[in-house]
């Protein structure tokens, strides 16, 4: 069974120029502001807006439908502020169904229901997310972006009910091990091998989204933090996540949020009713280089300083098998080195992750190849 670890970096596909400009509407988010810069000859784009509650709920609902049935802790561990030990204890001692979202929220801190799932605050920054949660989200987001790209190019169908065995995974696709279905393939012109899947050199797929490093934030001249982020960031229907958003949630009223896993299979939503709002304070931001106290900017070096090992992409399956032997959440992921070539990064060694302040926001960053910069400047 091929499951990948939702761990490690975030990457954002945008133009790269010094200064701040509006993002293209058809790429990510309407009206969003991007800082473009070069750090040590590498094209970097840093998103100034944080990830919102709505976007994170889409992620949770996807996990719930695809992985929760057989791997519930992957989903549950992704919910901010959850007391997983208390939830498991209650599940063992009770005959009632505590798998429903309203029951699960009883074992979370109040801000999760009253703020995160509150219709009034769906487009405000998600908070209480750990470093590892943020990186897991970014890896998932890159898969959804790459999947959406191939759907839009009519190479893949939209899969309404993916499973743990066939959901789109960028690294498995590149390794030739993805078990999903395709509509068509790339024509090669070679009569002996007339079709193939996309590969890295086609510059179609992106690696994983990641958190920005401290030096990247500094190079962008962005010193904003904390309460500057506590405002709404409207969700655009041109956001590539909209294809999933309309399947998972809708606002019934100012205090009722409806959630589905799959509308076709179960048209009756779960209704989350909120009666109030807990006061939320944003006190910090998450960065990629948690342990890095130097001026190092090379992503591979930052990964190494965070206790991660780099391996060659050519030996993907061997590395995957080696890491999987250590547990479900131990598969490697793909990132780019400073030359734009894909490399494998083994999982973060400290799975508990460093303890950060309870309420933290996070945003996205990326490294781009020149050909991708030119393509998206059009």
Q: What string of DSSP letters covers 174-207?
A: HTT---S--S--EE---TTS-EE---GGGS-S--
Listed range (99-108, 178-187, 199-208) with the worst mean pLDDT: 199-208
Q: Are 25 and 15 in contact (CB under 8 A)?
A: no
Confidence at residue 120, expressed as pLDDT on a 0 to 100 scale: 93
pTM here is: 0.83
pLDDT > 90 in the chain, percent: 28
Listed range (2-6, 267-271, 360-364) with the worst mean pLDDT: 2-6
Q: Is the pLDDT of residue 73 over 80?
A: yes
Confidence at residue 21, expressed as pLDDT on a 0 to 100 scale: 30
Q: Are 49 and 346 in contact (CB under 8 A)?
A: no
Is the sign of the CA dihedral 77, 80, 86, 87 positive or negative?
negative
In the chain the beta strands, taken as DSSP E runs, fall at 19-22, 33-39, 42-50, 186-187, 195-196, 249-253, 256-259, 270-273, 310-312, 333-336, 342-345, 363-368
pLDDT > 70 in the chain, percent: 72
- What does the angle CA 50 – CA 63 – CA 323 come to, to the nearest 5 degrees? 95
Q: Which of 209, 220, 183, 185 lies closest to 199 in space, CA to CA? A: 185
Confidence at residue 2, expressed as pLDDT on a 0 to 100 scale: 38
Average pLDDT of the residues of the chain: 77
CA dist., res. 328 & res. 323, Å (int): 9
Determine how many CB atoms are found less than 10 A away from the CB of residue 192: 5
- What does the angle CA 362 – CA 366 – CA 369 come to, to the nearest 5 degrees? 175
Confidence at residue 92, expressed as pLDDT on a 0 to 100 scale: 86
Q: Are 62 and 136 in contact (CB under 8 A)?
A: no
Instruction: Tell which wins on pLDDT, 221 or 373.
Output: 221
Mean pLDDT of 27-52: 64
Most confident range (mean pLDDT) of 99-108, 130-139, 168-177, 208-217 is 99-108
Q: How confident is the model at residue 330 (pLDDT cuts 50, 70, 90)?
A: low
Q: Is the pLDDT of residue 8 over 50?
A: no
Determine how many CB atoms are found less than 10 A away from the CB of residue 361: 25
Confidence at residue 327, expressed as pLDDT on a 0 to 100 scale: 43
CA dist., res. 254 & res. 27, Å (int): 30
Q: How far is CA 229 from the centre of its chain?
A: 19
Confidence at residue 212, expressed as pLDDT on a 0 to 100 scale: 86
Instruction: Tell which wins on pLDDT, 13 or 275.
Output: 275
């Amino acid at each position: 069974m091929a499951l990948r670890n939702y761990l490690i970096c975030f990457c954002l596909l945008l133009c790269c120029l010094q200064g701040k400009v509006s993002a293209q509407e058809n790429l990510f988010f309407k009206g969003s502001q991007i800082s473009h810069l070069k750090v040590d000859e590498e094209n970097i784009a840093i998103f100034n807006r944080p990830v919102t509650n709505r976007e994170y709920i889409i992620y949770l609902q996807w996990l719930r439908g695809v992985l929760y049935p057989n791997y519930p802790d992957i989903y549950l561990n992704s919910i901010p502020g959850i007391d997983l030990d208390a939830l498991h204890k209650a599940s063992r001692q009770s005959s009632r169904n505590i798998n429903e979202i309203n029951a699960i929220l009883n074992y979370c801190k109040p801000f999760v229901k009253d703020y995160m799932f509150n219709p009034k605050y769906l487009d405000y920054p998600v908070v209480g997310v750990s470093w590892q949660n943020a990186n897991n989200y970014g890896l998932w987001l890159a898969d959804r972006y790459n999947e959406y790209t191939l759907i839009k190019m009519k190479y893949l169908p939209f899969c309404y009910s993916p499973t743990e065995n066939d959901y789109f995974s960028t690294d498995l696709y590149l390794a030739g091990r993805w078990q999903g279905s395709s509509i068509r393939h790339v024509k090669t012109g070679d009569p002996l091998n007339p079709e193939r899947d996309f590969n890295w050199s086609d510059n179609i797929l992106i690696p994983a989204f990641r958190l920005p490093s401290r030096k990247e934030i500094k190079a962008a001249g962005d010193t904003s933090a904390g309460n500057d982020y506590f405002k709404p960031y409207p969700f655009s229907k041109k956001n590539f996540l909209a294809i999933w958003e309309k399947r998972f949630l809708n606002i019934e009223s100012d205090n009722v949020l409806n959630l589905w896993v799959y509308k076709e299979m179960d048209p009756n939503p779960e209704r989350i009713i909120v009666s109030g709002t807990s006061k939320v304070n944003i006190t910090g931001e998450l960065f990629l280089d948690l342990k890095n106290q130097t001026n190092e900017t090379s992503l591979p070096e930052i990964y190494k300083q965070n206790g991660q090992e780099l391996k060659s992409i050519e030996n993907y399956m061997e590395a995957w098998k080696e890491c999987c032997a250590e547990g479900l959440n131990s598969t490697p992921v793909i990132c780019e080195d400073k030359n734009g070539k894909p490399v494998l990064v083994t999982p973060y060694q400290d799975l508990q992750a460093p303890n950060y302040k309870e309420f933290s926001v996070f945003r996205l960053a990326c490294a781009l190849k020149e050909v991708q910069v030119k393509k998206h400047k059009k």
